[in-house]
Structures are given as structure tokens and as C-alpha cells.
Structure 1
Amino acid sequence: MKVKFPSAYTILFLLIALVAAGTWVVPAGKYERIENVALGKEVPVPGTYQQVDANPQGIVDIFLAPIAGFYDPDTYQAAAIDVALFVLIIGGFLGVVTKTGAIDTGISRAMVDLKGHEQWMIPILMALFAAGGSTYGMAEESLAFYALLIPVMIAAGYDSVVAVAIILLGAGIGCLGSTINPFATVIAANAADIPFTQGIGLRFFILIAGWLACVVYVMRYAAKVKKDPTLSIVADHRVEIETQFRQEPNADDEHLLSLSQKLVLVIFALTFAVMIWGVSSQGWWMAKMGGLFIFSAILIGVITRMGEKVFTDVFINGARDLLGVAIIIGIARGIVVVMDAGNMTDTILHFGEETLSGLSDVVFINVMFGLEVLMSFFVPSSSGLAVLTMPIMAPLADFAGVGRELVVTAFQSANGLVNLFNPTFAVVMGALAIGKVPYERWLRFIWPLLLILTLIIMGSLSIMALVA
């Protein structure tokens, strides 16, 4: 009997129960707090921890925790409801953009135009997928492109691994080097109580350096396979794969971007640009960002003459696709609710202060990166991991004298790195299944690249910790 790994929902709910049990045995304690003007909130004062009366959490508290994760039922103060609502709006916006076919057609057009020069499709397409990962966390949406790209790569003399790598590594490196990804960077920064634009320069560097490493790595493998097909890691399945996917791309008008589709792509890019401007200089947050994406979705619907019925159906279906992410946010923050109510959070911070206080800035941030790598195996969801770990990890940075933006970058880099090969991540397993690439061979293919990316990430974090 095959044992299935539990979903992120089950893992997070079990963690709520585990933390609730911990409030019965872990000493309760509190730090004194002072107002941090830069952050606009109270932060714990190192060295002021004291034990307080315990407030153990019971079964009722466990089931109320996810609700309180969205909002405080006693004071009706928002907790994660604003972030969850923004995620649903993003889902609706992406549903409308996808319905127009602008992104699919653009990629199809690029493949037709580059016929005979397919090697240049590797950096171009990986850049496009990386942009999607960095801006809106492209992951599940990428699964639709495998059947489109695999035949092209096989016709070019490569194998299905090249196609899988272009999409999976392209979108993955974008998530690893997220700049404005609302499901990783924005949620993590929100949980860490800092603007998500803080630290964007370092994340952009990791994105470019990681993309370049992936491009060189995949192009070298592709050239090797084209020269000698027996060197393919799926050489023994090559006939089977080619029989299933062998076809030539059609170079007809269906690959031409219409005027409305070009406008959709412009609006898509401008929406994220305006969001960055609003957050960085106008003090925007979830409400205004959500309003921006609603406006852009409606504008795209009008330009493409989508019609009211089609538009509302597509928007709602897009939001429904990300409903799971929104629920995860509430469940994950429920863990923090139980910890806070049980006076356990500051005790954990105190343990972290004592454990990490003697470490240098460089060692601290790299240990933080390692902890996030470990957690990512159990919680592959970037949004779930962000809300789970950031409220604890970010304050530890205050004790160590390290900027919270470095902790956010360490989190998303670790999560993005692990999700390039994580067997608990549905996107990885789905992509490999479509490309008929056995998981153990994917590991054999990717492990040297993982080492390279790890060195890039740890080196970047170390340098920033030194100069900050």
C-alpha cells in the first residue's frame, strides 16, 4: 500500500494541534516591547524576557484558531483576511488574462519565429517563465505549456527533459528570486511587518544570477543531447516519448498576437508596475492593490469584448483556483494565534535569541536559510510557509541586528530552491509525469545546478549581511 504524503492543509492543521499541546508544557513568557518608528510597530526588547502565567490551549481553541487566523472574533480586527482577499482577486485577474490567450499566443509566436534557431528559445522562454514566477508566482499555470513545448524541443533534436527544464526551472527560478510575487514576497513581507519593496534589489540580483545559471546549465545539456542522443537521461524512453509527442508546430495566423492581446500584455505589465509605485511611494496596501487588479481585470474584459457573463464566470473561476491558497493563509496564521494566546511565541523567540545571539550576521542568515530549506520540504506552499515562519523568524533578525528583508529573502530563496525538486510539490511531480521523466533521473539531472544556486543564494545573503 502506497503511503501518500499529507497535503499542506493537513500539515498546518496538525501543527496547530501540536503547538496547542506545546502550550501545556512549554513555559509561558513575555518580552517588554517598545515602538519601532521605522517599522511602525512594537518590537520585543532583547534581554527583557520574563516568565508569565500559562494559558494552555484546548480543543476548542484548536478549531477556532483558523478563524482567528483571518480575523479576531472578539475585536473583529483583521489578521490575514486582507491578504487572503487580495489572493482571490489576483486569481480572478489571472483568470481573465489567461482567458484572452495573450500569454499562450505570445509563446507560440516566439516558437514559430525561432524555428531553426531553437537554442535561443531556451534563454528567451526561461526569461518569460521567470518573469511570471517573479511577478505572480507562476506555478500550477505552467502545467499547460508542457504539451506545447515538448514537441518543439523534440523536433529541434533535444529531449523532453529540456522542455521540462525550460518551464519548471524558468518559473521556479522566478519564484526563487521573487521580486513582487504576491504569494511569496508580499505575504512574507506582510507577516514580517515590512514593505515588500524592501530588499528588492538583492532579490532582483538573485533572480538574474539564478536565471543565468539555469540558462547556461540547460543549454549545455541541450547541446550535448543534440550532438549525441544517447547522452539523454531518458534515452531508454526516447522512442516512446517521441512517438507520443512528435509533431510540428503550425506557423499559421493562430500564432499571431491580435491588437487586443498586445494591449492585454501591456496592461498586465503596467498593473504590476503601478502596484510597485503605489506601495513604494504612495503607501498602498492590500485594499488599494486589490482595487488596482479589479480595475485592470475589468479593463481587459472591456478591451477584449469578453462580455459581462463570460467575464464574471472567468473571474470567479480564477479566484476559485486560488481559494486553497487563501485558506492556507488563515490556517497557517492560526498557528501563530495559538502560540500568542498560549504565551508561547516569546518563549520561542527567547530560545532563538539565546541560540543565535552568539552567531555572526553571516552565520545567522545562513542558518536561517537552512531552517527554511528544511521547513520547505514539509510545507511546499510559499504562502503557507511565509505565514507560518515569518512571524517567528523576522523578530529574531532584530535580535541579531540583521534586516528583516534578509530573512524574507532567505525564506523565498529556500522555498523556491526546494520546490525545484520537492516530491511533495504537485507542480514538480505533474511536470515530470507529463514529460515522462522519472523522478530519480530528474534528481540526477538537477543536483549540480542545485549546488550552484545554493552557493549564489548563500553568497548573496552573506555579502548583504556584512555590508548592511
Structure 2
Amino acid sequence: MNDASKTAERKSLRFPTAFTILFGLIILVAALTWIIPAGQYQRIHNAALDRDVPVAGTYQVTEPNPQGIFDIIMAPIGGLYDPATNQANAIDVALFVLIIGGFIGVVAASGAIDAGIASSMRALKGREKWMIPVLMAVFAFGGTTYGMAEETLAFYVLLLPIMIAAGYDAVTAVAIILLGAGVGVLGSTVNAFATVIASDAAGVPFTQGIVLRFVILGLTWLACVIYVMRYAERVRADPKQSLVYDRKEENEAHFLSAHQDVAREFTTLHKIVLAIFGLTFVVMIWGVLKGGWWMGEMSGLFLASAILVGVISRPGEEKFVDAFLNGARDLLGVALIIGLARGIVVVMDAGKITDTILHWAEVSVSGLSEIVFINVIYWIEVLLSFFVPSSSGLAVLSMPIMAPVADFASVGRDLVVTAYQSANGLVNLINPTFAVVMGALAIGRVPYERWLRFVWPLLVILTVIIMASLSVATMIA
């Protein structure tokens, strides 16, 4: 097979993007409105959730309202904003995503993140073993606060030469970053692109269930650190234990010859910028808990913090605006995915099949205990994550269905949110449809099948931790 045919084959096997999958689901759901019987529950106002919730056992068949081509085209628009009723759907969430993207862009443009990590590396030079927990904690912080993913790709070129020169291998370097940030997303606490969006779609404050998420974050991070450190020390003691030992000389020649020492100075300015970065998330939590804040106020907070960082770092008006717009532009796809995914719910609601599906779910879980229910939800989210790797897309797609089902099973909606984010974070450590995974492995020159061989025992450990945590939390809720 020649190179051209190989390239053509790779293109033909390429997995569709989240946009294509979600729009395809809109078409599928619209078709189902012609097949699935229309129905509706009676609803009562739930003061704790501040919304109407379905009452178990009150489902009745109603007049159908099948959705056509025009409804399909309008679904993504209605997902953001319903022009018929002048009701905002997900437009506030999409705006929040764009503003937090601008904030992250301004912080990144200041050089504070790069300088902070480079400083940690220099401080631990000669004690590279302890770089593993320190750096995995740094990347986990980025994952749990703002879903750090694509931003990590810049750090592989920096870390790979250092770890290889210290006697480790490329798998170790890739694991530090990919698992570090990945476990942070898995244990998201205030991640706007997972926890906040999912909680909003589920109708609960994102701070509800945050203690459990901290527990999962801490336990899974510790498991990852121990796992990576044990592997790294085995490789250092015996290079033949490396999963990429056959590429050792090739990798050393590639990474070490191309390595240039990074001499980024970690200035007082950088420290102040990172302090503002962390404090912004603390204020956000306080505002939600004590001030009754939601998307509008949180958007204003991140906008104000971005301006404050700009004033302190003084990049100039033009560079500040460029940094903010570039950061927002990086997350434009996420904002559009939110509207597209919410459009699926719009079609289901308009076609009057949402309550029918809820009724089927109510019947299917009626005999399940709370513990079995939450673990079934976890595995459903694992399966969905392979097809919809976008954390925000999956949140808006699944939470409007899964959260009300939890009411029938007497399980807290916050537990369903935690099950979703843990499942999505776990799958995205290996998901071949997730660009960050494939990009990281390509930069590190680690074949995908060897990454699977390295990580599969850890996935089992993480799954046990997650399921045990969800089960215990359900019992004591």
C-alpha cells in the first residue's frame, strides 16, 4: 500500500466531530418524534430546585407534535435562545464560556502559567522524582478549575527532554501531563465546562456535591501519582522496563538534541497574576454560595478579573484585547456546542417525547436501589463519552434527561452530575476521538496501543475509586 492510499484510508476512518454527532442526534431525535408516543407528566414546583419537576406515576399520553426539517434547522438557535417566546435557553452559559475563555487567554498571555511551571522544574532539578507529584498537582489544579486540556499541549515539548535526560522515558512525561490534567477534569470541582454547565442543565447549584468531588479528586490524583512514580522508578532502575524501550535511542536523539533550556523567570508579576487567577475561582464559589450569583454575575467576575490582570501586567490595550479575543475564540466551538446540544432537548420537548423517555427510564429504574442506580448512570455516561467527548456537549445532552430520572430513584441530582463528570473525565484519558489524547501521544512519540497498555490497570483503579465514592455518598445522602 503506497503513502497516498494509506493517507486516504486514515481519512476514511476519521471519526466525526462533536458538531456532526450532535447535529446527527438532532435529526435522529426529530425522526423519533414521528415514532415515539407523545406524553406528559404532571409537574409541581420544587422550591429547592426552583423549578417544576415531574411527579412520578402521573404520565399520560398526549397529542403528538412531530418535528420537521424547519424544526431541525431552528433547533440549535432555540438551544441558545427561543425566538418564539423570547426565552433564553443556553445563551447565558455560552456567553460565560466565551468570557472565561477571554480571561484564560489574558492570563496565559502574561506568561504566568508557563513561568510558574518552568520555575517548579528548575527548583526540583536533581530531584526529578518529586517533579511528578508537584507537576501533576499543578496540572490537576488547571483541570479541576477550568478544564485544562488543549492548553497542556504546549508543555510536552518542555517536559519531555527534562524527564528523558533524568533517566525516565517519554511515557512518564506524557503521563505526568495527560493524567495530571485529566484527573483534574475527572474530579472537577469548579470546572465551568463540566461541573458548572452540567449542574445548570440539571437544575442544581454547582456547589452542591462539591465535597464529594474534592474527595474523588484527591483519591484519584493520589492513585495516579503513585502509579506514575512506580512506573518511572522502574524505568530509571532498568530502562528495559520502558514501554518505549525500542525507541530509546531515537527518542533521546530527537528530544535531547532539540532541547533548549527554558529560562523563563518567575517574577513577582507572574505570582500576582496566578494569585488573581486562583482568587477569582474562590470568589466565584463564595458568590454562588452566599450571594446568589449565577451565570450573569460569574461572567462579570471573570470579565473584571481579566481587566485586572491586564491592568497589572500592562501588555498594552491592543495586545490585551487580542489576548482576550484569542482566548474567547479558542472556546467559540464550546459555546456553539452548548447551543447545538441543547437543541436536542428543544426538539424532544417540542415533539413531546421527553416525558415519554423519562417514563421509560422511571419504569426501568423503579426496581433498582439507589446505589445500583447511580452506578448504572455512571456506566451510561461512560458509554456516551466515547461518542460525545466534549464535556460541555455531553453535559447539556445528558443532564436534562438523567437528572429528572434521579428524582424518581430518590437520588440527588448532584450525584448524577458527579457521575457524569467522573465518567467523561475517565474516558477522555484514552478516548481516540479526543484530540488532546492523540495530540499528546503524537508529540511524545508514544504509540496509542502502548499508552493503552500503560494506562489500563490505572483505569480499573480509578473506576473502583469513583464507583465506591458514588456508592458511599449515595448511602449517606
TM-score exceeds 0.5: yes
Q: How has the CA–CA distance of structure 1 residues 109 and 251 changed in structure 2, closer, same or farther, with 3 Å as cutoff? A: farther
Q: 1:11 and 2:17 equivalent?
A: no
Paired with 2:418 and 2:282, the residues of 1 have a C-alpha distance of 20
Tell me which residue corresponds to 2:247.
Answer: 237
Aligned-partner residue type, residue 283 of structure 1: G
Aligned-partner residue type, residue 56 of structure 1: P
Tell me which residue corresponds to 1:312.
Answer: 321
Q: How many residues align?
A: 467
SS of 1:98's partner is helix
User: Alpha-carbon deviation of 1:305?
Assistant: 1.0
Paired with 2:363 and 2:143, the residues of 1 have a C-alpha distance of 37
Tell me which residue corresponds to 1:257.
Answer: 266
Tell me which residue corresponds to 2:134.
Answer: 124
CA deviation map 1:74-109 (0-9, x unaligned): 111110000000000011000000001111111111
Paired with 1:415 and 1:247, the residues of 2 have a C-alpha distance of 38
CA deviation map 1:10-47 (0-9, x unaligned): 00000000000000000000000001011111100000
User: Alpha-carbon deviation of 1:355?
Assistant: 0.2
Tell me which residue corresponds to 2:107.
Answer: 97
Tell me which residue corresponds to 2:45.
Answer: 35
Paired with 2:66 and 2:260, the residues of 1 have a C-alpha distance of 65
User: Alpha-carbon deviation of 1:248?
Assistant: 9.5
Paired with 1:203 and 1:188, the residues of 2 have a C-alpha distance of 14
Could you tell me the TM-score, scaled by structure 2's length? 0.97
Farther off after superposition, 200-209 or 297-306: 297-306
Q: 1:431 and 2:477 equivalent?
A: no
Tell me which residue corresponds to 2:148.
Answer: 138
CA contact (8 A) 1:112 1:251 kept: no
CA deviation map 1:206-256 (0-9, x unaligned): 00000000000000000000001011000111111111111597778x432
Tell me which residue corresponds to 1:149.
Answer: 159
User: Alpha-carbon deviation of 1:467?
Assistant: 1.2
SS of 1:104's partner is helix
Tell me which residue corresponds to 1:224.
Answer: 234
Out of 382, 385, 391, the position equivalent to 2:400 is: 391
Tell me which residue corresponds to 1:191.
Answer: 201
Aligned-partner residue type, residue 91 of structure 2: I
Out of 315, 326, 333, the position equivalent to 2:342 is: 333
* Unmatched segments (≥5 aa) in structure 2: 1-8
Paired with 1:294 and 1:32, the residues of 2 have a C-alpha distance of 41
Moved over 2 A (4+): 247-252
Paired with 1:429 and 1:167, the residues of 2 have a C-alpha distance of 13
TM-align CA RMSD: 1.0
Aligned-partner residue type, residue 26 of structure 1: I
CA contact (8 A) 1:369 1:410 kept: yes
Paired with 1:353 and 1:247, the residues of 2 have a C-alpha distance of 61
Identity among equivalent pairs (%): 68
Tell me which residue corresponds to 1:451.
Answer: 460
Tell me which residue corresponds to 1:464.
Answer: 473
Paired with 2:126 and 2:258, the residues of 1 have a C-alpha distance of 12
Paired with 1:4 and 1:192, the residues of 2 have a C-alpha distance of 33
Tell me which residue corresponds to 1:73.
Answer: 83
Paired with 1:100 and 1:290, the residues of 2 have a C-alpha distance of 21
User: Alpha-carbon deviation of 1:421?
Assistant: 0.3
SS of 1:105's partner is helix
Aligned-partner residue type, residue 394 of structure 1: A
Paired with 1:456 and 1:96, the residues of 2 have a C-alpha distance of 36
SS of 1:233's partner is coil
Paired with 2:22 and 2:260, the residues of 1 have a C-alpha distance of 46
Paired with 2:182 and 2:243, the residues of 1 have a C-alpha distance of 21
Aligned-partner residue type, residue 146 of structure 1: Y
CA contact (8 A) 1:92 1:316 kept: yes
SS of 1:34's partner is strand
